[in-house]
Amino acid sequence: MDERSVKFAAFSEGKLYDAWTVLGSRPTASGTDFAVWAPNARSVSVTGDFCGWDGGGSALQREENGVWRGFVPEAREGQLYKYIVEGCDGIFRWKADPYALAGEFRPGTASRIRSLNYSWGDRDWMNARRSLEGPRNIYEVHLGSWRVHDDGSFYSWDELCGTLVPYVRDMGYTHLELMPVMEHPYDGSWGYQSTGYFAATARFGPPEGLMRLIDECHRANVGVILDWVPGHFCRDDHGLGMFDGTELYSDGDMPGWGTYKFNYDRGEVRSFLISSALFWLQVYHADGLRVDGVSSMLYLNFGVEDPARKRYNCNGGEENLGAVSLLQEVNAAVGRLVPGAATYAEESSAWPLVTYPPEKGGLGFHYKWDMGWMNDTLRYFSEDFDWRRGKHALLTFSMMYAFSENYILPLSHDEVVHGKRSLIGRMPGDWWRQFAGARALQLYAACHPGGMLNFMGNEFAQFIEWRDYEGLQWFLLQYETHAGMLRFVNELNHLYRREKALWDDDHSWEGFQWMDADNAEQGILSFVRKSRDGEMILCVLNFRPESRENWRAGVPAAGAWKEIFSSDEERFGGTGKRNPRRIHTTHIASQGHPLSIRITVPPLGGTLMKYLG
């Protein structure tokens, strides 16, 4: 059996992890080789720029495992094309190439013949990233609306290299997460209804531009996470739906979303999805994949309300066993084949062991978004100050399960759209209290165990909800309140990277100790974060608008403590209540601890006190 036959046998078994190397279009000096999987088709041809979009096109020949293949001498690098697939139902469908490496700029839907040629300059980064240790403070970005030109047109990849990359670096974020940059037909889907699982969107230029953007991020010491969507795909005629007259890729409709679900039990579909995941990590040098909508994959009846339409697995349960095994296989392949790359699950149910290895019954993700923390925290911060006394448990409940998974704390795009209001728009009180509350939210996230994620616009307190069809309101930075908020997030980010007690031991009780969890009356939380080598930071957070003078805080060790950060500094827009000098412990018990220090706690904010010994 030759190498090609071996690969197609693995493809059918769901074990081909580089399917893009044998399927799709591959240009050469003498023409282009095309290969597409359509096992139930009566005929397949390819048409495009090279033949004036002739309706007959160049016929492909059926080979093994349902793959159609042909060589077209006239087809050249950069030309557009589509497959004309005569389905088993006799209908001719014009389809984009599922394995295309580039696509046509919308509203066009054709594929483009491309080879990917880029000279990488990130060897040092790629060698250093093999360890998953270190802080994770992620800036989530929708490239189509981060900034736009005055005429509403998109920034190109190169323009983003010159603007977005230095911004993320200077702001102190460790990672840049890009909402799906895979090709998609409709801007309003934000990229989450893809047609190009191997094609970077043409909205910002040729695919090498995305490679350059990732390369520049790496040179700036910033990792890149790409959102990846294996849960569903769009119904557009040129896409994967009814590809050869049958539900080749799909397993029925995704209720409520107007999309199709993938068939995770079919070997060729598994090869397609696993190859897609590895493609972005290996070919584009991405540092991680955030997997969207994991809950919709895990449950057969996700979103199904009609009892007559409900399905059950062979064990009588509602778990989608094919999806479970696919996710385990993807995560295992990433860990084995792409050292240092990470996967992130957006999983909103109570599915257990999401970040545990498959051999221990887990899904194998490296991190999981903590949706419970996000919901409880934003609910608390939306409450009026007088009502917060009765809601104090919303702040402390997350510590009941904080170390059950490896968590990321998301303040994501989903929380600033669809009538939910912007983050600062949720804050009660007058103008000053709203901004103080927004700072307190960011500080609380930085102190709480788990990595952080912040969506664009949150860092300077944009009041309106995010609008995907226009740029962020950067003009707000001419106002001191918004400029102060940006200054605060910048300094907090750099402090977070610098102070390893805030992240070094994020996933066990060894890195966290409560000092006072139950002060609902005053709205104060105090706890200590610890690094594995003994550094300690006391975090005292006040969620009421009254400052606390001479407040006695319990501490775990005798010696000197010094304030290293306050959200109430005047340059951030605060009142300037600080603890300017070293403070020594006394043997006066407080909150059940035999040692304490006396400090000033600012209004609607917090202070971080570092242990000096």
Query: What confidence score (pLDDT) does residue 545 get?
Result: 96
DSSP state letters, 52-120: TT-SS-EEPEE-GGGEEEEEETT--TT-EEEEEEE-TTS-EEEE--TT-S-BPPTT---EE--------
CA angle 217, 223, 227 (to 5 degrees): 105
Question: Cα 87 from chain centroid?
Answer: 37
Gap between the Cα atoms of 369 and 177, Å rounded:
13
Strands (E), 320-448: 342-345, 367-369, 407-411
Query: What confidence score (pLDDT) does residue 1 get?
Result: 63
Query: What confidence score (pLDDT) does residue 81 get?
Result: 98
Q: Where do the structural domains in the chain lie, given as residue ranges?
A: 3-112, 509-611
Separation in Å, CA 153 to CA 43, 186, 202, 606: 40, 15, 13, 41
Gap between the Cα atoms of 518 and 361, Å rounded:
36
pLDDT < 50: residue spans in the chain: none
Torsion angles phi and psi, residue 33, rounded to 5: -95, 130
Query: What confidence score (pLDDT) does residue 573 get?
Result: 97
> How do residues 124-148 score in pLDDT, each as one tens digit?
999 998 777 899 999 999 999 999 9
The count of other CB atoms within 10 Å of the CB of residue 347 is: 24
Instruction: Kindly tell me the burial class for residue 359, based on how many C-beta atoms sit within 10 Å of its own C-beta (0-12, 13-18, 19 or more).
Output: exposed
40 CB-near residues (< 8 Å, 6+ apart): 66, 87, 88, 244, 245, 246, 248
CA angle 17, 189, 329 (to 5 degrees): 20
Tokens 């990433």, residue located: 334
Q: Does the annotation mark 170 as catalytic?
A: no
Q: Which CATH superfamily is domain 509-611 in?
A: Golgi alpha-mannosidase II (2.60.40.1180)
Gap between the Cα atoms of 428 and 410, Å rounded:
21
Three-class DSSP category at 532: coil
CATH number for the region 3-112 comes to: 2.60.40.10
CA nearest 261: which of 311, 307, 213? 311
> How do residues 443-483 score in pLDDT, each as one tens digit?
999 999 999 999 999 999 999 999 999 999 999 999 999 99
CA nearest 182: which of 164, 171, 193, 196? 196
Q: Does the annotation mark 346 as catalytic?
A: yes
Tokens 């804050």, residue located: 427
Query: What sign does the dihedral 152-158-164-167 (CA atoms) show?
Result: negative
Query: What confidence score (pLDDT) does residue 309 get?
Result: 87
Among the listed residues 244, 329, 346, 499, the single catalytic one is 346
Label the pairing between strands 196-200 and 182-183: antiparallel
Tokens standing for residue 148: 């736009």
Tokens 């030759």, residue located: 2
Query: What confidence score (pLDDT) does residue 589 get?
Result: 86
Gap between the Cα atoms of 105 and 525, Å rounded:
51
CA nearest 514: which of 533, 532, 493, 541? 541
Gap between the Cα atoms of 393 and 480, Å rounded:
34
* Terminal-residue alpha carbon distance, the chain: 69
Gap between the Cα atoms of 36 and 24, Å rounded:
6
Query: What sign does the dihedral 572-578-581-583 (CA atoms) show?
Result: negative
Single-letter code of the amino acid located at 467: R
Gap between the Cα atoms of 394 and 198, Å rounded:
42
Query: What confidence score (pLDDT) does residue 170 get?
Result: 98
Please say whether the beta carbons of 35 and 68 come within 8 A.
yes
Gap between the Cα atoms of 566 and 585, Å rounded:
20
pTM: 0.96
315 CB-near residues (< 8 Å, 6+ apart): 321
DSSP state letters, 188-227: GGTT-S-SEEEEE-GGGS-HHHHHHHHHHHHHTT-EEEEE
**CB-side neighbour CA atoms (13 Å) of 129:** 25
3-class SS letters over 327-341: HHHHHHHHHHHCCCC
Query: What confidence score (pLDDT) does residue 74 get?
Result: 96
Query: What confidence score (pLDDT) does residue 129 get?
Result: 87
Among the listed residues 97, 177, 215, 292, the single catalytic one is 292
Q: Do domains 3-112 and 509-611 have the same CATH topology?
A: yes
